Structure 1
């Protein structure tokens, strides 16, 4: 049986407790909006030991960043944080119904909201290479801007065969002492191979059998040929929506798999805003997956939400 919907809806329910959701809740709290932040405890950067490329927070452990943000939110009386996951978000008249499957000690629960901020993020999908997943977030990474500097002066591998591999390698050529592209049995386009050869980037075409942690970073074992000792590995991971709410609400999606938003974080469904790497504008080829840009998008989406509620409460 569905729990009754409260008659006093929140101004906003923010789904997601990463940097985008935390910043959205802070912005709404500062404007005295009655706000609920739902935090499932799952974070895309959970495997990472430190976050980087965020001024004043470079090198901060992600858990420490979240704890500091939670402490700041506690100062705002209109913001409530609950460590639980939403199970469904449904349009309900001019607002929304948010269903909590567990609902804490009281069983299933249904909440009402005038507007939503979805900040549930993406889930990385890695190549099916034994040993890669345990290294992901430490020795293995996806973003040179986030994790490249820490491999200064080391032998770095780039795993993949698509058009991105040359770009990633060239982003790292000023950082790494040596670069090797691992195509894992796939071929490279002739133009890409020529670029790599011209830059004296080594290419190992053999299928990768396994990655394992080593004293210097990782050992790459191949189906044939000698092992490679590397300080780190950059991999082209795929990604998909971490939560089902974009699909449940029928949001317009982009080819990247992210929800489409306008410059202010509005989705195709009025009253639903999206922030962080689960969404981006059509002008961008992909989400900007960094802590700083996620937090920035949370602020923008929350400010737009506040403005839309203001326009609704005080129409011309």
Structure 2
């Protein structure tokens, strides 16, 4: 790496999160450099858990495999592009109102163009295997694009939303509350693609683990006949979040305790209020 070389992003982490960020940036054709100290939170552990296909395996093996995959990805054509388009087109597929709003919102009219023509089909371009042909319903000239991005409206599978009366987002996903992905109905949790606009495998794994942690908490509430609370304990510059009965909190000695619960049924935490511990 030359001293004068510039990167889009500097990543100060060679652990799981840093490597995941690097892969995500590479797939978006951004350049990044990863600074890895070689010191990891789980460095002394020979086993990691809750990671499908890697459960109870050495985290160092996972990091080594992730680094190798990242290097291979960057070296391959999967993230390489000979040229980046100087003009990007936004197709609204017949929605003239949206096209007008976008034209008014876009600051760089030379860099971004809006096309409201209804699209009839997408097909391989006969002139180049690198292009996708866009055909329009009005019979106007086809267009070839090297890259297309699309964010369609989605609908969750199954009849559960209607049967249980679960709240949905404008994009058709379940509305869930942090940290354990509780839905708008007590005792019902959602995880994965049905509960987020970020429909990627790593997010599905993380949300599944969080929901898997939240369900036992709800079961304990029923078994013990008590409502648990979510707490944030401030210890210097660190914060801990956990669920326990209020009277058990007296066994700890933090500088302050803040109550967030019971678990909110909205996507935002309830405003915290400072509690005076009784110890």
How would you bin the TM-score normalised by the shorter chain?
A: 0.3 to 0.5
When normalised by structure 1's length, the TM-score is 0.40
Structure whose residues are more often strand by fraction: 1
Higher relative contact order (Cα pairs below 8 Å, separated by 6+ residues): 1
**Structure with max Cα Rg:** 2
